[in-house]
Amino acid sequence: MEDISTVLVTLREAIEPTNDMELINAFYQLEDMYDRKLWYQLTELLSTSIYSNDNSKSIRLKLFENFILNFYNKINQLKLVEFQLLSLEDVELTEALDHLISLKALIDDKLKKNDDDESIDSDGVLIFVDSEIAKTKLKLGLYDEAIAIVDEVTEKIENFHHKLDNKIYSSYYSTKMEVMKFKKNYNSYYYNSLLYLACIQDLATLPNKSLIIQDICINAVLGDKIYNFGEILMNPIFQYLKQDYLKALLVSLNEGDLKGFNSALNAHSQDLYSLGITNLDSLREKFCIMSFIELISIHANSSKSVKFEVVLKNIELINTAEEIESLIMKCLSLGLVKGSINQVQSRFEISWIQPRILTKSQISKMNENLVQWSDKVNGLNKYMSDAGKELWIAN
């Protein structure tokens, strides 16, 4: 094995053609910090000046294999995994998998030797590596093996009694999203994507934002248990969705806007079909459910019930009382609302509505309804005051 000085000189010479003096100077500092055993400072330098610099891509793997692994047991193990992942970005998948498996064995061996050291979050580090191994296996088409790993990791996370580093959760949820994409489990994909986005501290650092939000929106539309898009519509990543028709579809579904819904369907049915949104009957049923929830949310501010005639007026895809009752029963079975149908008076008595994330336009609409309700209360108060004026004076 080459000595450290020779390794760093060779790597520095390899990046000299870039004329990146900041990067070149960092290699001089590496040797000094290594000799002085300044492991924390060395880790920070690797992270901020070398691995964050695109000009280092060509030498990252050699740097990791020939330099970092010489002191892997001296530095933060999460950083060690990060350096390995960054080193494998341009490596063939099969080779990358071999490197990750070797790294796991190395970390596992270190953790066994330091079993009594409570400062080492052994399960957290291994979850990080296992998630990345599973992700790589998914890309290689080794679905059963990848799913088995994710199942094991899920069990570990569910049994944890303390919070892990966001990088670990991010890796886990992004891998689980890919598993759910393979399984076509639209509901689970959507919910895991929200958890994944919650782990991203700086959206600017997230690659492939437009593809990620596209997949999230498709799964939101296809999910048969997802009837509120507020959380994704209000997330900053939504602005990166390139397909305007998909944006329009989500907004119209969420707000019960039939005109916008029909416009998206009629003008872009082929585009939606190419994205896997093919069952238009199911989509119309979803529109009716979301429109009904939007409608009763509005009426719940001033009344605990909604008349069938109001439903027929506001949801034009429904034409009969029987269809309304069927729609209500569907909403009840999904746990979106609680209440009872008053067939005699043709109304739905509302006792509870599932909490929802509201968009700005929905909040504005709710504010208008509250203002109207306030005006009615003030009007009633004035009427009572005027009508009972003589009684008040007499008393």
- Among 179, 170, 175, 247, residue whose Cα is nearest residue 205: 170
Q: Taking 90 as the threshold, does the pLDDT of residue 95 lie above it?
A: yes
Between residues 383 and 352, which one has the greater pLDDT? Answer: 352
Q: How many Å apart are CA 120 and CA 116, to the nearest integer?
A: 9
Which range (37-41, 87-91, 133-137, 301-305) has the least confidence?
301-305
Amino acid in position 169: Y
Q: Are 290 and 254 in contact (CB under 8 A)?
A: yes
Q: How many Å apart are CA 35 and CA 55, to the nearest integer?
A: 25
Q: Taking 80 as the threshold, does the pLDDT of residue 43 lie above it?
A: yes
Between residues 299 and 88, which one has the greater pLDDT? Answer: 88
Structure confidence at residue 109 (pLDDT): 86
Structure confidence at residue 299 (pLDDT): 67
Q: Are 26 and 16 in contact (CB under 8 A)?
A: no
Give the pair of three-digit tokens for residue 380: 């009633």
Give the SS3 label for residue 357.
coil
Q: Taking 60 as the threshold, does the pLDDT of residue 394 lie above it?
A: no
Structure confidence at residue 341 (pLDDT): 96
**Digit-coded pLDDT (tens) for 197-212:** 999 999 988 999 999 9
Amino acid in position 368: E
Amino acid in position 2: E
Between residues 301 and 179, which one has the greater pLDDT? Answer: 179
What is the 8-class DSSP label of residue 50?
I
Give me the count of residues in the chain: 395
Q: Taking 60 as the threshold, does the pLDDT of residue 121 lie above it?
A: no
pTM: 0.89
Identify which of 77-81, 202-206, 387-391 has the greatest average pLDDT: 77-81
Q: Strand order of the sheet with strand 337-342?
A: 305-307, 347-353, 337-342
Q: How many Å apart are CA 273 and CA 48, to the nearest integer?
A: 44
Mean pLDDT (the chain, rounded)? 91
Structure confidence at residue 119 (pLDDT): 45
Structure confidence at residue 380 (pLDDT): 64
Percentage of the residues of the chain whose pLDDT score is greater than 90: 80
Between residues 160 and 96, which one has the greater pLDDT? Answer: 96
Q: How many Å apart are CA 47 and CA 79, to the nearest integer?
A: 8
Structure confidence at residue 244 (pLDDT): 96
- Which alpha helices (H) appear in 114-185, and where do they start and end? 122-139, 143-158, 166-183
**Digit-coded pLDDT (tens) for 2-36:** 799 999 999 999 999 999 999 999 999 999 999 99
* Backbone angles phi and psi of 307, in degrees to 5: -75, 150
* Backbone angles phi and psi of 224, in degrees to 5: -90, 10
- The distance of Cα 52 from the centroid of its chain, to the nearest Å, equals 25
Q: Taking 80 as the threshold, does the pLDDT of residue 381 lie above it?
A: no
Q: Taking 80 as the threshold, does the pLDDT of residue 82 lie above it?
A: yes
What is the 8-class DSSP label of residue 53?
-
Exposed / middle / buried, residue 135 (Cβ in 10 Å: 0-12, 13-18, 19+): buried
Structure confidence at residue 112 (pLDDT): 78
Percentage of the residues of the chain whose pLDDT score is greater than 70: 89
Q: Which domains does the chain have, with CATH numbers?
A: 4-224 (1.25.40), 289-394 (1.10.10)
Q: How many Å apart are CA 126 and CA 103, to the nearest integer?
A: 10
- Strand ranges (DSSP E) for the chain? 305-307, 337-342, 347-353
Give the pair of three-digit tokens for residue 102: 């070797």
